[in-house]
Structure 1
Amino acid sequence: MNAMTETILDRPGIYELDGETYHRDPAPAPSLSSTLAKLMLAQSPLHAWTACPRLNPEWEPVDKKTFDIGRAAHRAILGKGANYVPIPDELLASNGAASTKAAKEFIASARDAGATPLKSAEVDGIEAMRAVAHDRLAGMGVSLDPARSELVALAKIDGIWCRAMFDNVPLAAGAPIYDLKTCESAAPHACERAILNYGYDVQAEHYRQVWKAATGEDRPFRFVFQEKSAPYEVCVVELGDDSLMMARKKIARAREIWRICLRDDHWPGYPPGVHRIDLPEWFHERWLERESVEADHKRRTGADIIEAARLWQAPQGYQGAAE
């Protein structure tokens, strides 16, 4: 067991744990999270091993400035989690940057206390996000009870321990599980791209199955996407049956890989050898279309299309461009 892990829970169930304890993995044995499952499926078991605090002795938690808005939004909207504090304006440099010695000391002190330091304008944005999110959800009859936020479930599925931390799970047994995602655009097509790019379908099914294994409740799962800038619009997304069916196949495969790698204590990276890659047809079609356009221009004008581009880009009055 990794020496940094302080809390080990010996039975399946629902728990209230802080984020640090959860991310250090409190299960009786190294457990599969949705993050580790996505790493195995998108990259390799070695990547999952590297990101696992119970397996990698060199593991360190990852914390980036880019996480701050999402973390603060979770606190504001869900009512639970690490608090956020405004950096006093008088500590900032004349250009508004948090680059002064006093600002850096304030930021370090806040982080040491487990809080997220934000500029006052960012705090105003977080408060606006909370108001919009609660208004939109209330219009759907949804109220996020802080007592039901950031619950942790541990369960055994297919012979391995699995874990998940849920943003919000209403008390009513048939109500959906809610997961908050901050984003640049919450337009439905942008949400679809995010689900594809970040493997959120795997997360949704992993969370559903871990909750069911821990409680016996078979709940729907909904994402709440919210924009990080005005107007802070919200889009609630639930995956269709076909998508969930495919996600079940993916997460089952992830559990199988995890079980085999744990059993054999072997975490391979990418397959060895030379990998031959054929680029997609649309990529080739894009070039063929360009060739066709350039050939048509040459037939019509008798000159290469690059000549027209050179004239268009040349500084005004530069006669050499036309020669």
Structure 2
Amino acid sequence: MTYITSPGLYEMPAARYHADPVAQLSLSASIAHILLSQSPAHARWAHPRLNPSWQDSEPTTQQDEGTALHAAILENRGVVALCDFPDWRKKEAQEARRLARETGKVPILAHRWAEIEGTAAAVRAALRGHEVGDVLASGVAERVMVWREDTAAGPVWCRSRVDWLRATTAPIGYVWDLKTVGGSAEPGAWGKKLTSDGYALQAAFYLRGARALGLEPSGFRFIVVERDAPHGVSVCECAPDLMHFAEQQARAALELWGQCIHSGEWPSYPPRVAAVEAPSWAMMQWEERALRVERETKAKPFYMPESQRVVNSGAPFA
């Protein structure tokens, strides 16, 4: 592999991007999320060039079809290899799938492709009726941004793979990311993933890259698509307070990555006993339940003494 040595906007297969194509080890949004939500040791293990045992796991059929839907929506059908078999059970079908992967293609059974294209058409129709309009009508899919950041420990390199850009020269407008989900795309339900799955951090990280390359982005938006009929579509973005929080996370991840890269040390969890406090949501639920019991029984809230609790009981009040 020829490694990238200069910041810029690049086009490359997904496999090359995920293997880290940058000469100096680079930080991605997914590794940044692992750094903050787990530890540097976990991030090192997940990085393709830091973990000597790292192997890219073979996608499942469902994951392949999700990738194909992603490509169909973005009109990037060149990454899909259609295989004319009823299923993957026969040796010939398995060999065709293997050859497709070797050439960087996503193997899809030909009879499944019509349904995938139908879903993509439904998504584009939904966007045409949305206030953002058909933002996918023109632009480029899956471009890789490579840039350099300064940290207290020294310079570091970063990379991101952008699903959709409407332009490749400044100003580029919004940076677009497509998420296909098996559950709900309703903003209130899906929006929880912005913090739990690191998607807000992803938005802040990608915007840092676009600004570092002088692309003058307007912001970052997610197109969220339900894989199941009727294929609901929503468009979401981080509110200012969430974006501010995500920007702080991105900065913290960069500094931690810089410390680890330049020191060569990748610590795991702190080697000390941690006192875990009751989360505020659990305390609120308990208080609400106690008040409800009081109202329904017209009795004082019931709190079982510690000495009377049943160890390992599944009872709600144990």
Does residue 68 of the first structure (1) align with residue 39 of the second (2)? no
Q: What amino acid is the match of 1:48? A: A
Per the alignment, do residues 293 and 124 of structure 1 end up closer, same or farther by CA in structure 2, a change over 3 Å counting? farther
State the partner residue of 2:305.
none
Give the Cα–Cα distance (whole angstroms) in 2 for the partners of residues 63 and 190 of structure 1.
30
Does residue 132 of the first structure (1) align with residue 129 of the second (2)? no
Per the alignment, do residues 145 and 16 of structure 1 end up closer, same or farther by CA in structure 2, a change over 3 Å counting? farther
State the partner residue of 2:45.
50
Equivalent positions of 1:200-279 (< 5 A) are: 200-279=199-278
* Structure 2 unmatched runs, 5+: 300-318
Per the alignment, do residues 8 and 101 of structure 1 end up closer, same or farther by CA in structure 2, a change over 3 Å counting? closer
Deviations 1:117-164 (A, max 9, x none): 345664343212211221122333334267611111111122211111
Stretch of structure 1 that moved more, 47-56 or 255-264: 47-56
State the partner residue of 1:16.
11
Give the Cα–Cα distance (whole angstroms) in 1 for the partners of residues 47 and 138 of structure 2.
29
Give the Cα–Cα distance (whole angstroms) in 1 for the partners of residues 296 and 236 of structure 2.
46
Stretch of structure 1 that moved more, 257-266 or 128-137: 128-137
Does residue 115 of the first structure (1) align with residue 109 of the second (2)? no
Deviations 1:41-71 (A, max 9, x none): 1101111111112222222113331422321
The structure whose residues are more often helix, as a share, is 1
Q: What fraction of aligned residue pairs are identical, expressed as a percent? A: 34
Equivalent positions of 1:22-41 (< 5 A) are: 22-41=17-36
Deviations 1:190-230 (A, max 9, x none): 22122122110000010011011123423311000000010
Q: With structure 2 as the length reference, what TM-score do the two structures score?
A: 0.80
Equivalent positions of 1:165-184 (< 5 A) are: 165-171=161-167, 173-183=171-181, 184=183
Give the Cα–Cα distance (whole angstroms) in 2 for the partners of residues 130 and 197 of structure 1.
27
State the partner residue of 2:304.
none
Task: Decide which structure has the larger Cα Rg and report it.
Answer: 1
Cα RMSD for the two superposed structures: 2.7
Asked whether the 8 Å contact 2:19–2:48 carries over to 1, the reply is: yes
Give the Cα–Cα distance (whole angstroms) in 1 for the partners of residues 163 and 254 of structure 2.
23
Give the Cα–Cα distance (whole angstroms) in 2 for the partners of residues 63 and 279 of structure 1.
40
Asked whether the 8 Å contact 1:47–1:269 carries over to 2, the reply is: yes
What is the deviation of 1:178? 0.7
What is the deviation of 1:9? 1.3
What is the deviation of 1:189? 1.1
Give the Cα–Cα distance (whole angstroms) in 2 for the partners of residues 138 and 295 of structure 1.
51
Q: 2:157 aligns with which of 157, 161, 172?
A: 161
Per the alignment, do residues 226 and 108 of structure 1 end up closer, same or farther by CA in structure 2, a change over 3 Å counting? same
Give the Cα–Cα distance (whole angstroms) in 1 for the partners of residues 51 and 111 of structure 2.
39
**Secondary structure class of the residue paired with 2:33:** helix
Q: What amino acid is the match of 2:124? A: H
Matched pairs, number? 287
What is the deviation of 1:279? 2.8
What is the deviation of 1:103? 4.6
State the partner residue of 2:141.
149
What is the deviation of 1:296? 6.4
Asked whether the 8 Å contact 1:75–1:82 carries over to 2, the reply is: yes
Q: With structure 1 as the length reference, what TM-score do the two structures score?
A: 0.79
Give the Cα–Cα distance (whole angstroms) in 2 for the partners of residues 29 and 235 of structure 1.
37
Asked whether the 8 Å contact 1:182–1:226 carries over to 2, the reply is: yes
Does residue 82 of the first structure (1) align with residue 75 of the second (2)? no
Stretch of structure 1 that moved more, 288-297 or 151-160: 288-297
Asked whether the 8 Å contact 2:200–2:242 carries over to 1, the reply is: yes
Stretch of structure 1 that moved more, 133-142 or 242-251: 133-142
Q: What amino acid is the match of 1:83? A: V
What is the deviation of 1:292? 7.0
**Secondary structure class of the residue paired with 1:215:** coil
Asked whether the 8 Å contact 1:76–1:127 carries over to 2, the reply is: yes
